[in-house]
Amino acid sequence: MIPTQRSLATRHLSSTIQISSSGAAGRRGSLAATAAGLGGNNVPVLARPVLVGRSRSFYSGSASAGSKHASFINGRQWNGSRRTLATQVQETGTTQQQLKLPHFDKILIANRGEIACRVIRTARKLGIKTVAVYSEVDKDALHVKLADEAYCIGPAPSAESYLRMDKIIEVCHRSGAQAVHPGYGFLSENSAFAEKLAQEGIVFIGPPASAIVSMGSKSESKNIMSAAGVPCVPGYHGSNQDPTFLYEESKKIGFPVLIKAIHGGGGKGMRIVSTPTQEAFDEALTSAKRESLKAFGNDTVLVEKYIQHPRHVEVQVFADTLGGAVSLWERDCSVQRRNQKIIEEAPAPGLSPALRADLSEKAVAAARAVDYVGAGTVEFIFDNDTNKFYFMEMNTRLQVEHPVTEMVTGLDLVEWQLEVAAGNALPLSQSSIPLVGHAFEARIYAENPRNNFLPDSGPLLYLSTPTPTTIFATPYTPEQLSADNINGNTSLSIAPSLRIEQGFTQGAQIGVFYDPMIAKVVVHGRDRTEALRMLRKALDEYHVVGVSTNVEFLRTLAGNKAFIDAKVETGFIPKHFADLFPPIPTPSPETLAQTGLFVALRDNTNPSAPPTFQQTPWTSLPSRRFGGDVYERTIQLQTESTTDTPSIVHIVSSQTMPGKFNITVRTPDGTTTTFESVTAELTSSTSLSTTLDAESAMTTIVSQPPAPNVPISLESLNTMERLHVFSGGHRTTLVVPAANWLVSLGNDVLNAAAARGGGLKAPMPSLVVEVKVKVGERVEKGQAVVVLESMKTETVLRANAPGVVKAVGCKNGEMVEEGRELVDVEADPVEEEH
């Protein structure tokens, strides 16, 4: 049951935002009235009836507004059968009301992955043809297959493909694309790109170049925001980049400080400096500048006070060319790793209606201060200690996390972008924008959370996802949002929904050249509790094999008590590290028995015949046949820590009772568990149905064969078959070790290599950015030796002991594979105490 919120709304009407302009005089929208709509069980409702759709116009236009639009689209004219885009008006009483202008016929998406697929879906819904661009390594990518046309624009490195403005513009002319949607990343916040498109008569589906320039510079944007009355974090935002000067400014601000690139986002070019020494500051400054230069082409940074317990709260804003600007409410993106978001939600938990209205008011003021047009996100740092918020930056593009806003508003933000870019008014006024239920988005990354979230690369050998219930957010009908439905007599009906945004399919390659995000899982429920429960279930059903992912980490995070209680902050992961990274549990006897059965049944060459348990070098342990009717098989299984003692699974099958097995499991601690009359059947190549101790279970087990052409080793996982077991929302990885005889000849070599020690190996496939040492050079413990880059993230390898560099196995600019020894440091001998 949902009580009325009219009293709350009335209480905060003083926070009303005036949204009238020269093109929309006299209109008022009450942010507070809608922001006040938090119902029972934290279910947002509306303060008054809302009309969703386009059956009425919320904006009155004038000839001057039309001229503004004509200037914005750079006087674009269409030839032949192309439409004429000019502002059309008709008299409606004493006012002029804008007619809806037509959409584009064809647009180019200057991006890849899930965002390119996302834009294509909306364009297809609206009947707009799409043009994809791709690099050579993306020739088989999903966005290439979904688009109506696709053009290769260069080699894999972004600088030679997705960042080539000239090639993208050339494809626009070749294909007849009238507009470019930049997605996020790459050229999405590049003012020069927006200007070049305008010069070529092509519409940039985004803000004007002037707004990108103003908000793209974190230092300039802070000055603009201060002038507009938007609170900012104390710091130095000037142009002096002298390291000593910046260090002195940092001392004035007070440590800890945050060094941050003035251009770009995504956590790139950011470093926290807690140690108040010149040496520590200079090292962080050098690293931040180098990363910023590579990512954004500019190494200018600013320095700000680092707030100790902040939340990251951002507001989605939209503005049109006719003077309209609205807030689509806020998102909380506090839980981050490496200064990059991994889970987002809308609305932000725990905000009062007054605070929600204040945030939205300041965000709209920020957009107006730079004459913003299109979709933008105003990011704030919310201080948990003081409940104050400060402007951080404005992202002048569609955000990765935009789906959570779509779910709680029932809107299609890409469609809104296309409407605004075509010159139309915003589809809804402020007072008509819903805020219903609660939504979460979890980003699935190819990375290893237990190895400092380092990115991974490789093929998606297996990909199985939960079944989505929707592709787009479901629009709310007037009946759903009517006064009768929110007066406390009935429940507001929200159908829980699941949405998956992904740009890859099974078999695709996750490379080292781009961001490692695989997909986004988005859920929408009636309240935060329900949405979080849905998210946990969806993550339980999201299975990936081939690359390391953060799926299990996200599942643990979604079940963490502090997160469930909404006690979020940007330092959430380090604060709750022990809970989020518990010891990896020992495989249970049940899991070992199921895995052994999977191997035994899989190795049977004739599924219709009794098991023959054909051996391979990876499973070659005793297999015997007694009297023609009994089969016996022993299988060794290890954890990924290949130095552990293996578990032994002994399976006996009777030919007189097909499908029945007696199994004995002996674990490394000597414990023996017996399962009798076990029923087992392989229902597919990855699905095992078992009845174990009267409990039926369906288990997914995926085999990852050893890498080809890799020397056999008892220690390297790359030379062993791995079995990934998904059951009950958990994943267990077991290894089928190679037979001893396969490695006996190479053991001496392996042991010698292991004994030598001191080698620094690549933790993932990487590009060598800088080799900082030479052969014969002395290094100290902790000294930076090699700088690597993978998926736009820098990693510094440091000497783990004092010593002398004996060999360097890489060079600047070289691509190196995971596990390759890059630098060999001969450690100083340890003096024995006498």
Residues linked to residue 130 through DSSP beta bridges, in sequence order: 107
CB atoms within 10 A of CB 561: 9
| pLDDT score recorded for residue 319 | 98
Cα–Cα nearest to 303, from 244, 238, 366: 238
Q: 3-state DSSP call for residue 326?
A: strand
Q: C-alpha angle with apex 633: 627 to 636, nearest 5 degrees? A: 165
Q: Pseudo-torsion of CA 101, 107, 112, 113, nearest 10°?
A: 50
Q: Which segments in the chain show pLDDT lower than 70?
A: 1-98, 264-266, 481-493, 604-630, 642, 654-656, 707-719, 738-758, 791-792, 830-834
As given in the structure block, the two tokens for residue 188 are 């999405």
Cα–Cα nearest to 723, from 389, 397, 354, 461: 461
Residues 6+ apart with CB under 8 A from 277: none
Q: Tokens 């008709």 identify what position?
A: 90
CA pseudo-torsion sign 215, 220, 223, 228: negative
Q: What are phi and psi of 448, to 5 degrees?
A: -110, 100
pTM for this model (two decimals): 0.75
| pLDDT score recorded for residue 597 | 94
Integer CA distances (angstroms), 646 to 170, 595, 596, 738, in order: 59, 13, 13, 12
| pLDDT score recorded for residue 43 | 35
Q: What are phi and psi of 559, to 5 degrees?
A: -100, 0
Q: 3-state DSSP call for residue 569?
A: coil
Spell out the domain ranges in the chain: 234-305, 589-742, 757-827
| pLDDT score recorded for residue 804 | 93
In CATH, 757-827 is 3.10.310.30: no
| pLDDT score recorded for residue 761 | 85
Task: Point out the catalytic residue in the list 271, 397, 443, 499.
Answer: 397
CA pseudo-torsion sign 618, 624, 630, 635: negative
CA distance 549 to 25: 52
| pLDDT score recorded for residue 763 | 79
As given in the structure block, the two tokens for residue 187 are 């050229």
| pLDDT score recorded for residue 792 | 65
| pLDDT score recorded for residue 708 | 56
As given in the structure block, the two tokens for residue 615 are 């051996």
CA distance 475 to 175: 33
Phi-psi region of 108 (alpha: psi -120 to 50; beta: other; left: phi over 0): beta
Q: Establish whether 27 is a catalytic residue.
A: no
CB 560 within 8 A of CB 522: no
DSSP character string of 644-697: SPPEEEEEEEETTSTTEEEEEEE-TTS-EEEEEEEEEEEEETTEEEEEETTEEE
In CATH, 234-305 is 3.30.1490.20: yes
| pLDDT score recorded for residue 493 | 65
Q: What are phi and psi of 165, to 5 degrees?
A: -60, -40
